[in-house]
Amino acid sequence: MKKLSLFLVLLLSLSFAAEAQLNINHFIRVGRTRISIGNYTGAIEYFNIVIEFKPYLAEAYLYRGIAKHSLEDYRGAIMDYDKAIDIKPYYPRAYNNRGMAYHNLRQFDKAIENYNRALEFDQDDESIYNNRGVAKLAQKNMEGAIEDFNRALEINPKSTDALMRRSNAKIVSGDTRGAIRDLNEVIIIRPHYAAAYLNRGLARFELEDYASALRDYDQSIKFDPQNALAFNNRGIVKHKLEDYNSAIMDYDMAIRLDPEMASAYFNRAMAREILKRPGFENDYKIAAQLNPQFDLESRRVNAEQLAQQRQQQNQQNQGNTQQQQAGGNNQQNTQNNSTTTAQNNQVLAQKNDDEAKKQKEKAEAEEERRKRRSKMDLVIEDSRDLPTEEEEEVDDGRIQNKNIVIDLQPLFLISAFEKNGVDYDRFQYYNIVIDDLNAKNNYDPLLSISNKPVTTYQSVFENFILFFNEKIEIQENAHNYLNRGIFYSLTGDYNSALKDLNKAIQLDEKSSISYFTRANSLYRMQEQVELLAGTHRNVSIPMNEPGLENDPTKTTPSTLDYSQILDDYELTLFLNPEFFFGYYNRAYIKLRLGEYKSAVEDLNHAIELEPKFAEAYFNRGLTKIYLDDVEGGAMDLSRAGELGISGAYNIIKRYCN
């Protein structure tokens, strides 16, 4: 009988193991499917679940890395590829993907090192040779790049990817006709491949074969009518052929498709100037604003300033020489005053002649600039960095491309839901303090902690105020006053909330959650005061655009007094040092006051206590970027994105890559 029982237990264990394996495989399949349809954030959610239950599965890290990679979170992807390689050291795909991520971060040496490792384990993968060739191309190693593309073509002679990239390397190395031969092969294999016609048009343009280049751009536009580069480049060919009206139409279309294409404005300005059409000055101005290299006026002024500096230096040198000569011949100069006066007159006349000559040269230079602008300085858009494989646009996948308002994640508040009516779309953090409150309430009302809007629950909160009115009539204790204070605060009646919370603290000075709620209520009341006074501003890190310097010492603290709020958070944490929401909320107030480094310390504590605290990672990431720790900020934002705050990927793309 014991043997039979043991046998049944073993069977049950095996069946549960098989079911668990089946479920994990299901999550992996769903995750991979989401990657294939472009739902990258959804894929990350599924691979998080796989990693939670099977942290030793290399494939889960690889695919989560691919999803992050697609969201342009290259540092986060590298961390996942690292983990996959730690678990499975002979994993060529992980090395190849990690190489691509390093390439995207422009760390080409590390990229090539990873491609080399990948080729140690798989010498027949054409994609690895192609990727290594592209990295070598970025390092201007044309010979090495062409060798890699040749090797890829030995493996797959019909690889349009390798042919396209080899043609790029050949154009850069000066073998334009060889590039055209490669592109001819691509077009034979893929007759409707718009990028191949676009690149061949560029090569033929460089050979000044304008008629053939025009035909190629026509074909490229036929197969891809939304490509602004093709319209701009076709306009240039027409411009060269002096068909200015038609060129302007192409520039118009390029600008319509890509309103930020500076070269199209610049080229259109030249064509309009030749035809003496109005608007060319404005086009030059827009081009200069979009790209300083097109600011001809600035170039001219700089050139004139340089010439003036040189002239002044020459005059100074000449004056010094004359002064030295004068010092050695004072007696002779005294005897020849009349000669000196004549020489001075001659110098003055020479200066007048030089000024006239300078004005004439300036006018000639301006005319030459106008001629050069109209005939030579057309700016062709280089199409050789176009993706070689066409991708389908997905609405919800590339969330990093969606514009978002960059604000800190807000404060966490004690809130409530109806019993058995929890909103499962909200991320719920567990904390024993909230659990104790619920136990005392017999889970009605069911309290929670959240930083999401609660406006839809106002009627529920008002009913709970009435509920605790009755309980307080029966028994005036700290717990009942605390609960009613929570609901007064949630309905926006902060004065009544503070009265109840003060009473709760008077009755129980060791209630950490009472101090926490009072601090939150005080902040909300201060916020309302600012709104009424018209001085309220969103709490956010003052992020600058890439390339601009941040100055952490220049802060704009609030004019209101937050000392009592900070004191209440301090008491909350003194009474309950494990309450990570206290550190998070205190950091939020410190960020409002411009105390960035101290805020980071609080967020560090919050994350130590709750390693999956997405909002803390997000706020710390923004703060680190502001403090010029871009690497650290990018890693924090990557973690926040991994834990569900998808807006982090937009910030990574804008400020970290």
Radius of gyration of the chain (CA): 35
Share the mean pLDDT of the chain.
82
pLDDT, tens digit, for every residue of 242-265?
Answer: 999 999 999 999 999 999 999 999
Q: Is residue 408 part of a domain?
A: no
pLDDT score, position 553: 45
pLDDT score, position 627: 92
291 against 582, higher pLDDT: 582
Q: What angle do CA 285, 289, 292 make, to 5 degrees?
A: 105
CA distance 271 to 366: 17
Q: Is residue 249 part of a domain?
A: no
pLDDT score, position 427: 55
CA distance 638 to 621: 9
Q: Are β-strands 413-417 and 446-450 bridged in parallel, bridged antiparallel, or unpaired?
A: antiparallel
pLDDT score, position 99: 96
Is 460 a residue whose pLDDT tops 50? yes
Counting the structural domains of the chain, the total is 1
Q: Of 588, 579, 654, nearest to 615 (Cα)? A: 588
Q: Of 407, 412, 406, nearest to 586 (Cα)? A: 412
Residue 446, H or E segment: strand 446-450
- 527 pLDDT band, cuts 50/70/90, is confident
Is 16 a residue whose pLDDT tops 80? no
- 545 pLDDT band, cuts 50/70/90, is very low
Q: Is residue 199 part of a domain?
A: no
For residue 45, report the phi and psi dihedrals to the nearest 5 degrees. Answer: -60, -45
Q: Three-class SS of residue 48?
A: helix
pLDDT score, position 45: 92
- Which percentage of the chain shows pLDDT scores above 70? 74
543 against 249, higher pLDDT: 249
User: 458-469: string of b/e by CB count within 10 Å (b at 16+)?
Assistant: eebbeebbebbe
Residue 529: give its domain's CATH number.
Answer: 1.25.40.10
Q: Is residue 641 part of a domain?
A: yes
pLDDT score, position 297: 65
| Amino acid in the structure at residue 85 | I
pLDDT, tens digit, for every residue of 269-322?
Answer: 999 999 999 999 999 999 889 888 887 666 554 545 555 555 555 555 555 555
pLDDT score, position 4: 41
pLDDT score, position 452: 83
Q: Which of 75-79, 132-136, 418-422 has the lowest mean pLDDT?
A: 418-422
pLDDT score, position 509: 94
Tokens of 144: 């090495």
pLDDT score, position 167: 93
- 360 pLDDT band, cuts 50/70/90, is low
Q: Is residue 470 part of a domain?
A: yes
Q: Is residue 639 part of a domain?
A: yes
Token look-up 């009474």 returns 575
Most confident listed range (228-237, 417-426, 522-531): 228-237
Tokens of 325: 């000569």
pLDDT, tens digit, for every residue of 319-334?
Answer: 555 555 545 544 444 4
Q: Is residue 55 part of a domain?
A: no
Q: Is residue 591 part of a domain?
A: yes
Instruction: Give the structural domain span for 534.
Output: 413-655
Q: Which of 122-136, 211-225, 344-358, 639-653 has the lowest mean pLDDT?
A: 344-358
CA distance 75 to 522: 40
